[in-house]
Amino acid sequence: MQSNQSIHLTIKQPPNPKPIRTIGIFDDPDNPAIRQVIDHFLNTLDFEPKSKEFSDNVKDEVLKLITTQKPIAVAKKGTLTLVYFQE
């Protein structure tokens, strides 16, 4: 990160363009307290299960990426698989 950059976590609810909730992190990510700040941000939220419509929309968007973008790398870490695409 550059010296004038920060990390922002934002909760959005399309089509509303205004964030529902956001947090800006202005210290370096290697500060151990940053993980605590992010954890606190997430732990103070009330989560509802995602609707089938939401999950289906996300899958559709990912399928569009698979069919239109060029995959350039794949990484596996634990139960996660990361696919990197190049436009």
Question: 31 and 53, same structural domain?
Answer: no
State the pLDDT at residue 69. 94
Question: 1 and 43, same structural domain?
Answer: yes
Structure tokens at 9: 């976590």
Structure tokens at 24: 């800006």
Question: 78 and 37, same structural domain?
Answer: no
| pLDDT surpasses 90 at 1 | no
Question: 75 and 59, same structural domain?
Answer: yes
Classify residue 73 by burial, with Cβ atoms within 10 Å: 0-12, 13-18, 19+. Answer: exposed
State the pLDDT at residue 4. 93
Boundaries of domain holding 64: 49-87
Q: How far apart are CA 8 and CA 51, in angstroms?
A: 25
In total, how many domains does the chain have?
2
Question: 17 and 42, same structural domain?
Answer: yes
Question: 55 and 83, same structural domain?
Answer: yes
| pLDDT surpasses 90 at 74 | yes
Predicted confidence (pLDDT) per residue in 3-60, tens digit: 999 999 999 988 899 999 999 999 998 999 999 999 999 999 999 999 999 999 999 9
Cβ proximity of 64 and 52 under 8 Å: no
Question: 65 and 83, same structural domain?
Answer: yes
